[in-house]
Structure 1
Amino acid sequence: MKKNAKWKIVLNLVLLLIILGIMYYFIQNSMRDIFIELKETDLTILFSVLFLGLLHQFFEGCGIKETVRGFSANFTVFDGMMTSFYIAFYRIITFGVGTLLAEIGFYKKKGIKISQGVGASALHMVMYKSAIVTYAVANLIFYFASMLNQRPQMIGLILVGIVLTSLLIITLVVLSLSLNLQVAVLLFCNRFVRNKKLRSYIDQLNLQINALHQAMQSVLDDKATILKIYLFNLLKVGAWYVIPFVCFQEETNNISFFLAFALISFTLVLSGVIPSPAGVGSFEFVYLFMFQPVTGTVEAVSSLLLYRFASFVLPFLLGFLVFLRERRKVVTDGIEEISEP
């Protein structure tokens, strides 16, 4: 046992060194310009951006708490915020690959079953995307005439983004709730899969899918909870959408609050359907495409860096603190285990 504890400590220290190396790479290559921009930003603007970034995380925590309330009665808003930080950290460290696993893993540590965690993650994604679509549709209706006169080519792109995001939402809901899909999988396996070991894995997977269905159904049956989750997602997304307008107050007054809000809503719905690791490169491209014609290149780039700080760097750094706390507990437990007589 003591030998295993020693290996556990060594492996965690090695993991920490690897993580620090990856962080150094990101800070030097992806975050350096953001930190330079922070140094040159007016303190009032900077604190406003920081406040909106944390406000987003608070509403995110409220939404996650409501999402998993049926699975864990002791799950708090603070736990929801820690979940968000943890996800943000692993999204960057794993280049987007480990995002879902990180969320499910955090839920598991809070006593939530894997199938329930998968259901909560799916609902989390559905509600987030639903909020993005809601804002995009509302702003498209509001600015349709203006865009038709000034930038008609944008209308088609935005509609494509809305349609593709809506299809993603529908697909997630269908996969989570469809009993017919589970029956089809069983019928296919009964007919074509003969290998006993493979059948065993498939049967276990089907049990997980069935548990996922039950978990999603239990949440969706509670209409009041669904409405709360949806509203919290509107609020959390709205907090981010205010950031560009706040940033432009330092450089230019050529853009109104509602126009800035509309342009960032179009940015999110479009960048979300453009393939890119962790959604990084696609977001920058669409953001500048939307804002440059209105504010100019310098102001657009400056606001982009501040927006990325609130939505990208801040939760990542807070997630690193959550990660350190987790590793510290593992190492401490290992040391105590070694110290036992």
Structure 2
Amino acid sequence: MKKNAKWKIVLNLILLLVILGIMFYFIQNSMRDIFRELKETQLKVLVSVLFLGLLHQFFEGCGIKETVHGFSPNFTIFDGMMTSFYSAFYRIITFGAGTLLAELAFYKKKGIKISHGIGASALHMIAYKTAIVTYAVLNLILYFSLLLVQRPRLISLIIIGILLTLLLIISLVILSLSLNLQVGVLLFCNRFVHNQQLRNHIDRANLQINALHEAMQTVFKNKMTILKIYLFNLLKVGAWYAIPYICLQEETDHLNFFLTFALISFTLVLSGIIPSPAGIGSFDFVYLFMFQPLTGTVNTVSSLLLYRFASFVLPFLLGFLVFLTERRKAIRQELEEAP
């Protein structure tokens, strides 16, 4: 036991050093321009962006709390925010691969079963995508005539983006709730899959799908909970959508809040369907495409970097603090077990 404790301490220290190395790499490469922009930003703009970034995380915490309330009644808004920070940190450290695992791991620490955590994550994604589609549809209706005159080709792209996002939402709901689909997959496997090892994997997956179905049914029983989750996601997305206007209003006199709100809502639905050219991230490319004709290249890039700070860097840095707290507790416990 004592020997194992020593090895755990060593492994935790190695893990900490590796993650610090990855963080240094990201700060030197992906985040350098963002931090440079922060230095050149007016204090009131920076405070406003910081406030909207934290407001987003607060509403995120509210939404997560409502999502897992049926599985863990003592789960708080603060716990929900910590879940978001923790996931954001591992999203960057693992290049996106460990986001879901980090979210499930945090749920597990709060006494939520893995299957229930998967259900909560699925509903979390559904609510987020639904909020994005809601804003995109409303803004498309509001600015349809303007788009028809100035950017008619954009209308079809926005509609395609909305439809594809809706398709993703519907697919997630069907996979989460449909017993008929699950039975169909089982009947197909019983008839055509004869390899015993593969059948064992399918049986284990079926048990997880069963648990996921149970978890989603628990959440969907309460219509008021669903409404709260949806509204909190509208609020959290809206907090980020207000950032471009805050960043650009003083540099562009004719700028309209609702227009910038519409442009960023279109950016979110389009960035998922447009491939990224020349290695530029799809979101960055669409953002520049949307705002550059309105505000110019310099101002658009500046606002993009500040938006990235609020949506990308800020939750990552807060997640690093959560990670350090977790590692500190783990190392302290292992030191107590060591001779």
Same fold? TM cut 0.5: yes
**2: distance between equivalents of 1:97 and 1:298?**
33
Structure 2: distance between partners of 1:129 and 1:272: 11
Q: Distance in 1 between matches of 2:136 and 2:105?
A: 32
* Alignment pair present for 1:80 and 2:76: no
Which position in structure 2 is the counterpart of 1:12? Answer: 12
Distance 1:282 1:13 in 2: 36
Q: Aligned Cα RMSD in Å?
A: 1.4
1:308 pairs with 2:291: no
* In 1, Cα distance between equivalents of 2:140 and 2:94: 35
> Shift in Å at residue 199 of structure 1?
2.8
Q: Name the SS of the counterpart of 2:143 in structure 1.
A: helix
Other-structure match for 1:209: 209
| Superposition pairs of residues 83-98 of structure 1, within 5 angstroms | 83-98=83-98
CA offset digits 1:55-75 (Å, max 9, x no partner): 000000000000000000110
Q: Is the 8 A contact 1:241 1:265 kept in 2?
A: yes
Q: CA deviation at 1:239?
A: 0.4
- Do 1:67 and 1:123's aligned partners in 2 also have CA atoms closer than 8 Å? yes
Q: Does 1:143 align with 2:110?
A: no
2:121 paired with 1:121: yes
Distance in 2 (alpha carbons) for counterparts of 1:168 and 1:21: 36
Query: Could you tell me which residue of structure 2 aligns to residue 190 of structure 1?
Result: 190
Distance change (3 Å), C-alpha of 1:54 and 1:280: farther
The residue aligned with 1:319 is 319
Q: What are the residue-to-residue correspondences of 1:238-253 with 2, within 5 Å?
A: 238-253=238-253
Q: CA deviation at 1:282?
A: 1.0
| Deviation of the 1:235 alpha carbon | 0.2
| Change in 2 beyond 3 A, CA 1:314/1:280 | farther
Q: Residue by residue, what CA displacement relative to the aligned partner does 1:67-116 show, whole Å, maximum 9, x if unpaired?
A: 00000011000000000001111111111111111111111111111111
1:112-153 Cα deviation digits (max 9, x unpaired): 111111100000000000000000000000000011001111
Using the TM superposition, name which of 183-192 and 131-140 deviates more.
183-192
**1:236 counterpart = 2:236:** yes
Contact 2:249 2:255 in 1 (8 A): no
Distance 1:140 1:333 in 2: 55
The residue type equivalent to 1:248 in the other structure is L
Distance 2:272 2:72 in 1: 30
Counterpart position of 1:46: 46
Partner residue in 2 for 1:268? 268
User: Partners in 1 of 2:274 and 2:66 — Cα distance?
Assistant: 30
In 2 relative to 1, CA 274–337 (structure 1 residues): closer, same or farther, beyond 3 Å?
A: farther
Q: Deviations over 1:31-72 (max 9, x none)?
A: 100000000000000000000000000000000000000000
Query: Structure 1, residues 271-329: CA drift from partner, whole Å, max 9, x if none?
Result: 134467xx981110110000000000000000000000000000000001111111111
Letter in structure 1 aligned against 2:210: N
- Partner SS, residue 202 of structure 1: helix
Establish whether residue 67 from structure 1 lines up as the match of residue 67 from structure 2: yes
1:104 alignment partner in structure 2: 104
Call closer, same or farther: CA 1:107–1:274 in 2, change over 3 Å: farther
The answer as to whether partners of 2:252 and 2:295 remain within 8 angstroms in 1 is yes
Q: Distance in 2 between matches of 1:245 and 1:61?
A: 24
Deviation, 1:180, is 1.4
Partner of 2:291: 291
Q: Which amino acid aligns with 1:137?
A: V
Q: Which residue of 2 aligns with 1:35?
A: 35
CA distance in 1, matches of 2:83, 2:273: 24
Moved over 4 A (4+): none
Unaligned runs of 5+ in 2: none
Distance 1:102 1:271 in 2: 25
- Secondary structure class of the residue paired with 2:281: helix
- 1:159 counterpart residue number: 159
Compute the displacement of 1:167 (Å): 0.4
Q: Which residue of 2 aligns with 1:282?
A: 282
Corresponding residue of 2:199: 199
Match of 1:23 in 2: 23
Partner SS state of residue 156, structure 2: helix
